[in-house]
Every structure is written in C-alpha cells, then in structure tokens.
Structure 1
Amino acid sequence: MTYFQPLLHLESRGWGRTFNGLKDRGNSGSTTVVLADMHSFIASVATEAQAQSIPLFLAGHSMGGGQVLNYVLHPDSPYRQAGSQPKLAGLLVLSPLIALDPASRPWGFIVSAGRVVAKLLPRMQRHSPLDPSHVSREKSVIADFQADDLCHETGTFGGLAGMLDRGLWLENLSKNQLEGVDILPMWLAHGDQDRITSHPATKRLAELLAEKGDVVFASYEGAYHKLQAELPDTRAQFCRDVSNWILGKSGENQSKL
C-alpha cells in the first residue's frame, strides 16, 4: 500500500491568513518576491522529501497555476539558476491564469490605467471580484465561496499587474524560448466551459510544452473553473486522473484507480 504525505499549502502574501490587517490584503509583492517566496518554501520541503525518498509534486490552481509555470519556466526564476533546483517529480497545473477568458477580461483601457497606477502607487488596493457563478456548477460551492471571508478578492495594483504580466509571458511563450530548458513532467487540466481563465490558452501552452517533454493536457467537458469542486461526476473523474498521474510518475507498480 502506498502512503502519501499530507498536502503542504503555500499561500501567496496578502491572501488566505497571511496578512495582518486590511492594508495588507492582496499585497503579494512583485514577481521577484512571489517566485522567491515559492523557492524558499519548496527548497526546504524538497530537502526533507529527498532525505525520505518521497517524490515531491508541485501543484497550482488559477493564479497559482500561472505562478508554478513561471517558477519552472521563466529564465529569471530562482528555480532556473544553476545549482538551486529543488528536485521535483512533476507539476500539476489546474485552470491556470495564462489568459483571462473574455467573460472575465477587463476592458483594455482599465488594464492600461491600472498599469500606470501600479508604477506610481503599487500598494494601492483594488477590489476585483469574480462572478461567483463562474467558479463551479455546484451550487453549494458557489455559496461557500460567497460566504468565505478569506476570499476577499482584493489585490494591490502592483500585485495585479505582476499577475497579468506572468500570464502574458506564458501566453507569448515560443519554442525558441524553450531551447535548452528541461521540461518537467506536467499534467495540465482545464474545464472547457471555464469563464474565468482561458481553456484555449492552457491547451495551446500544453501542446507547445509537449513538443519538448512529458506533458499531458486533460480537458473536462462542461466544467467550470474549480475542477476540484465541480459536480460529483466531474470531481470523481478529476480525482482519479490526478491520482493515476501521480502514481505513474512516482514509479508505483499499482493498478489504476
């Protein structure tokens, strides 16, 4: 029988329980800070995992999905620096923010104005709520999302600009930019009815990465943004797919779930 360590959850600064007061909501910092925070945490966990011969997988959902992709692919990421790579068995990337779906995409002039503010007042906050009905087809999940005080949906202009820039870099990634890059095993998943992040953008990136490495794209028909909290049939299939992929990349000689 296989036993897995409990999931370790890294929350970006300014989100979840990481902020001390309202003024710190959404203050995730620049991309340099975001990737450095990730690297520090992952490197410490990787050392312990390697000592115990436990395969370590890195997963990210939505904004976090864009972050983990930038972490392993962007040339300025600390992960890409010589001699600093934590040993990872693979990446699970769920509904990543590469591009926003047109239903959730702000007007161009709003983005442009926001970038100006981000340069002048990067810590100024902006409330950017999602449409709760786009999160899941499961009504109880929508209700929980609306009732969760930790889902404050507030970011700083600097943090929001960094988030969009990380997605833009992934959206414009080319084959030439991947020359000499070792592509980790990756499993990318997206619901084809996601109205928050772009399903076509994830599919396009997965196809590009698959030309250079062991990359799988899983598309879920009819599913919305939060695959892990979708309708029962979709959620069950999603859990089976995740489990089977992890077991396969862990070198386990077990039958599929």
Structure 2
Amino acid sequence: MVLEKEGTFRIGDKELYTKSWLPDGLTKAKLVFIHGFSDHVNRYYGFFPFLAERGIAVHGFDQRGWGRSVAKPAEKGLTGPTTRVLDDMAAFIRPHLPSYPSDPPVFVMGHSMGGGQVLTLMSDPAYAKDIVSRVRGFLLEAPFIDFAPEERPWTLKVIAGRLASHVLPRFHLSNRIPPENLSRDPEVVRSLDADPLVHDTGTLEGLAGLLDRTAALASGSIRPPSDAVRAIWVGHGTADKATSFSATKKWFDQCATDISDRTFKAYEGYYHQLHADKGREEFYEDVAAWILERAEPTAIAPLDAKL
C-alpha cells in the first residue's frame, strides 16, 4: 500500500503545490523529484508508487509556472530567472535532507528540463556544501542538455528571443512538443493531449534561462564537483525526439569522469518519457535498484566525508 499526501510549501510570496508518495512501512530512502517543461508531478504514472512500494519515499512539487502551482493564466510558465529556479529547488530539497546518520539517505532526480536544472544546481558552488554533499546520489532521466534534431530552434529565433526577454520578460510564448514525440504509448499520447495542466507555455525570461542553462551544460563550461557529488545515474532513450541522447552521452563522458560512482544507461529505442514509454517497467526497476543499493547502511558515507 502507498500513502499519497498533497500539500503546499511557501517560498517568498508564492505557494507551490507538493505531493508525496510514502511507503506503508519502513522508509529506506527518500527521492526528491524535479519535473520537466510543461509537466507536473501527477504525470509520472506508476513510477512513484512503484518506488514507494519498495521503501523509497518520493517527494515532488509543481514548479513555479507549472501544474497546480499556477493560480491564474498570467502565471503560466512564469518561472523567473535561473537564480529563482535554483532557489525554489533548494528550498524544497533542504527540509528532506538527513539531519542524523540514522536518517534515510536522500536522492535527487530530475527529468528533461528538471534534469538540466538538477545538473545546474549540482554544479553551482553555492550549493556544494549545504545540499550537494548531503545528497547520497543524483539521477537524471533524459536531461535537457541539448535539443533533439526534431526540436532544434532556428538560430535567429533564439537570438531574437534572448534580446526580447530583457524587454518583455513575462511575454508568453507557446513551445508545443508533439505528444507523439514523447512516448510510444498511445494512451500516454492521448492523455498528454487531454491534460489541461500541460499548457506548453513559457515566458521569454524563463525560456532564455533554460537556453542559457543548456548552453552551459552542452559546452562543458559547468560541471559537478567530484568532491561533493557522491554518485550519479543517467538514463536516456536512444530514440528521444525532445532532448538529445548524443549530447547527454557526450556530457557524461566528458564532465562526469571524476565521479567515481557513475552509471549511464542507454534505453534502446525508447522515447523521451522513459517513465511513460512502452517498456517503462525496465526503467522503474533500474532506478529502484540503483537507489536501494546505495541506501544500504554500509553504502552510506558520513555526511562530511567529502567536505
């Protein structure tokens, strides 16, 4: 049995929607999850209950501008700049971090845009000591490091958007990704089309911040510090039509080499949403096994071991 709990958490003047999937028994580990673009935490199907049934408590929130955290149409896609995005993530992660060695270890996972955000947080020295070094492991599902060829925008459009973001930061811009490019499961495709919370709307400021983060990740100019990151798992579908499999593999091969505990899993023929694609059960099993292996008491290093 899995216990589901909804709530909110406040950061500044904004309340964000939260949801947790809790084991009905011993909690072996905690997973803090960061969702992707035009997404929300209630779109991950059986993934979170599957983890909770195995003793992994999952905690997620609808990011600013997305899902049930949108109170009015003007707030759609209103994420703010990268500094605000990272502050929101950090504010949500901190209360879940272990205070004592006997507390369950905490893992942080991001999908797509959320994966790029997690990588950016991991690589920011401002969060190295109080967050990154206290997280037992980071997981990335099809992280947004670069566009897949099907979604790559024209260069002039990108330049114009960046310039306009300084003048009209809250201007709304639709950026629809065809649902059939996200999953091979027809039921998922229909569900995406019918979901009113999947609004595909960003603001110029938010989209410019997203592009800046991906450019920094793709170029290798920022990378996670090996003295703070204990472990990393990356999974990506080889047939992803939203984010680039090759860019993710390149990043892993070039920027994660100093992390001793690192795993890359290529899902042959899978599309973007590994958690909602045909054959998703393999992905579920892989994530659960990786977390639980590192949740064993003998695998948990002291919190200050790498400080």
Instruction: Give the TM-score of the pair, scaled to structure 2.
Output: 0.75
Cα deviation for residue 163 of structure 1 reads 0.7
Match of 1:162 among 187, 201, 209: 209
1:209 Cα deviation from its structure 2 partner: 3.7
1:240 Cα offset (Å): 1.3
Instruction: Write the deviation string for residues 214-240 of structure 1: whole angstroms up to 9, x where unpaired.
Output: 211100000000001111xx2121111
Equivalent positions of 1:194-209 (< 5 A) are 194-209=240-255
1:74 to 114, 124, 129: 124
> Could you tell me how far 1:168 is from its partner in structure 2?
1.0
**Compared CA separation, residues 141 and 182, structure 1 to 2 (3 A):** same
Provide structure 1 residue ranges, at least 5 long, that are not aligned to the other structure: none
* 1:193 paired to 2:236: no
The residue matched to 2:151 in structure 1 has which SS? coil
After superposition, what is the alpha-carbon deviation per residue over 1:39-65, rounded to whole angstroms, capped at 9, x for unaligned? 1111111156x4761111101000000
Match in the other structure for 2:172: 125
Q: Supply the distance in 1 between the matched residues of 2:62 and 2:224 (Cα, whole angstroms).
A: 28
Whether the 8 Å CA contact 2:133–2:229 is kept in 1: the answer is: no
The match for 1:240 is 285
1:102 and 2:152 aligned: no
| Shift of residue 183, structure 1, vs aligned partner | 2.9
User: Per residue, is there more strand in 1 or in 2?
Assistant: 2
- 1:142-173 per-residue CA deviation (whole Å, 9 max, x = no partner) reads 00011111100101000001011111111111
1:43 equivalent in structure 2:
94
Give 3-state SS (helix, strand or coil) of 1:236's partner: helix
SS at match of 1:136: coil
Of residues 62, 79, 85, the one that matches 2:112 is 62
The farther-off stretch of 13-22 and 207-216 is 207-216
In structure 1, how many angstroms separate the alpha carbons of the residues matched to 2:264 and 2:186?
A: 27
The equivalent of 1:146 in structure 2 is: 193
Percent of aligned pairs with the same amino acid: 37
Cα distance between partner residues in 1 of 2:133 and 2:262? 19
Instruction: Report if aligned partners of 1:210, 1:216 keep a CA contact under 8 Å in 2.
Output: no
Q: Please tell me whether the aligned partners of residues 183 and 209 of structure 1 are also in contact (alpha carbons under 8 angstroms).
A: no
C-alpha contact (below 8 Å) 2:133/2:228 kept by paired residues: no
| Structure 1 residues 160 and 174: alpha-carbon distance in aligned structure 2, compared to 1, 3 A threshold | closer
Tell me which amino acid in the other structure corresponds to 2:144.
Answer: L
Please list the CA deviations of residues 70-92 of structure 1 after superposition, one character each: whole Å capped at 9, or x if unmatched: 111134xx313x55656211011
The answer (yes or no) to whether the contact 1:183–1:212 under 8 Å persists in 2 is: no
Cα displacement (A) at 1:30? 0.5
Change (3 A) 1:156 1:52: farther
CA separation of 1:115 and 1:181: change in aligned 2, threshold 3 A = farther
Deviation per CA, 1:12-62, whole angstroms, max 9, x where unpaired? 2000111211111000010000001111111111156x4761111101000
Partners of 2:124 and 2:217 in 1: CA distance: 9
Aligned residues: 246
Aligned partners of 1:25 and 1:155 also within 8 Å: yes
Tell me the distance in 2 between the aligned counterparts of 1:196 and 1:239.
21
Gap runs ≥5 in structure 2 = 1-24, 28-54, 299-307
